[in-house]
Structures are given as C-alpha cells and as structure tokens.
Amino acid sequence: MTTFTPTEKTRVRRLPDRARYDVESVYGILDSAFICHVGYVIDGQPFVTPTAYWREGDHVYWHGSHASRALDSATNAKVCLTVTQLDGLVIARAAFHHSMNYRSVMIFGTPVKVEDDEHKMRAMRRFVERMYPGQWEGLRPVTRNELKATTVLYMKIEEASAKVRTGPPKDDAEDYELPIWAGVVPVEGAHGAPVADPRLAHDLAIPDYLANLSHLGLKK
C-alpha cells in the first residue's frame, strides 16, 4: 500500500489542498516526533492523553502503567491518535490570515494490548532504542515485576491522513501593498546539553547516544 484511502473520518474537508494521504507523508511525520495525543471516551466523557509513542512498520505503539485507567479504557475501543509538528509562525497583513506552518497526522483505530511477554519486552526495547539508539544493551535488565507493571498497546495504521501547511502568508490581493511586515518565523525543536544526575555513583562521560537527537526532531 502506498496511499491511505480517505474515509468519512480522515478526509480533509477544510483546506483539502493541504491533505496528504500517501503512506510516505504519514509515516514521515510519525517518525519525526515522539509525543502523540490519544483521544477516547470513558463513560460518555471524552479524554485526550499525551504520551510517548513509536512506529513499527504499519503499527503505532504506546505504553504506560498497568494500573492506567486510560490504557485499560482504550484497549479494544475506538480511539483517535494525533501527532503535530510545528514548523513556523505565519504572520500576515490581516489578523484573519495569520496561521502556522505545521505537519500533522490523524489516525483512527482500535488498540490491542500486548499480552505476550516476549512481544512486550521486544516492544519496550524498540521504544528505548527509538529514543536513544544504542542504549538498551547498557541498561540494567528489565525485571519481571517491571514487565508486569507495564501495559503496551499497539494499533494498525489503516485509517489515517496527514495535513501540512508550508510557505508564506496568503493575504487578500488588495492587502499586499500595505506597509505591514508579513512573513514566517521558523520554529525548530532543540535540546540542550545533558545535565548529569547528582547521584551518579561514578564519574561517567556523557553517552554517545545523547550527542545527536535529530531523529526525534530535535536539533542541538
């Protein structure tokens, strides 16, 4: 599959020229970030939970505490998962045309709980390696109690669409001659220098896997 078929839920109706239904665009946006928002309903009340996630092939994974009501309620239920990357603030000549440059993805589906311990351990490893490539082997091994205390959900990416805005402001034709500054202020995620835990038991160098976090959409 190279393109997601638009559905009643995923079809972009407002400014449809910004819609992207191709798999490359959807996966590219998912892979450029690490925080998503998952929407679901508990007893008729909508909730939206921010959480870390990762993609494996045509599935998206996230995890949390075994005692989490949110994860329990989302299991085998209909959810909406979204991811947004902000790329710029768009300043126009009129308030009405101010906007933002962004890349976003919306996915609908039914999450399934990972029940098999081997699958869960493999998922946890991939999550850590997604965040900090090369770190897993140097960590203290996961205990059985930690594995039991963690819930991992995964959902197949079948009903999805992306929406993207790029470029300068789009003002009314008669406003372009006005003496008002207009343009784009780029916005980029960045990370600072790592700060060591004051309780480090040894004088340790900063790990190499913290030197470059560009895979998370962060620049140094």
Number of H helices, E strands in the chain: 4, 12
H or E element, residue 107: strand 99-109
Nearest to 18 by CA among 161, 168, 171: 161
Is residue 208 in a domain?
no
Is residue 33 in a domain?
yes
> How far, in Å, CA of 77 to CA of 59, rounded?
16
Q: What is the pTM of this model?
A: 0.92
Its domain, for residue 100, covers 16-187
Is residue 38 in a domain?
yes
Give the pLDDT confidence of 118-129 residue by residue, as tens digits.
999 999 999 999
Residue 67: the pLDDT is 83
> How far, in Å, CA of 208 to CA of 206, rounded?
7
User: Are 183 and 91 within 8 A, CB to CB?
Assistant: yes
**Sequence-ordered list of residues with C-beta below 8 angstroms from that of 125, at least 6 positions apart, any chain:** 136
Q: How many domains does the chain have?
A: 1
> How far, in Å, CA of 74 to CA of 153, rounded?
9
Give the pLDDT confidence of 128-153 residue by residue, as tens digits.
999 999 999 999 999 999 999 999 99
Is residue 215 in a domain?
no
Is residue 118 in a domain?
yes
- Residue 103 pLDDT greater than 90, yes or no: yes
**How distant is the alpha carbon of residue 66 from its chain centre?**
22
Is residue 193 in a domain?
no
Q: What is the CATH number of the domain that holds 167?
A: 2.30.110.10
Give the pLDDT confidence of 150-178 residue by residue, as tens digits.
999 999 999 999 999 999 999 999 999 99
40: its two tokens: 């679901």
Compute CA distances 52 → 30, 62, 64, whole Å: 11, 6, 9
> How far, in Å, CA of 150 to CA of 40, rounded?
20
Residue 92: the pLDDT is 98
Residue 46 pLDDT level (bands cut at 50, 70, 90): very high
> Alpha helices of 54-161 — where are they, by DSSP H?
69-74, 117-131, 144-148
Find the mean pLDDT for residues 105-112.
97
Nearest to 38 by CA among 164, 155, 127, 126: 155
Find the mean pLDDT for residues 204-215.
92
Is residue 49 in a domain?
yes
Q: What is the mean pLDDT of the chain?
A: 94
Is residue 65 in a domain?
yes
User: Are 26 and 81 within 8 A, CB to CB?
Assistant: no
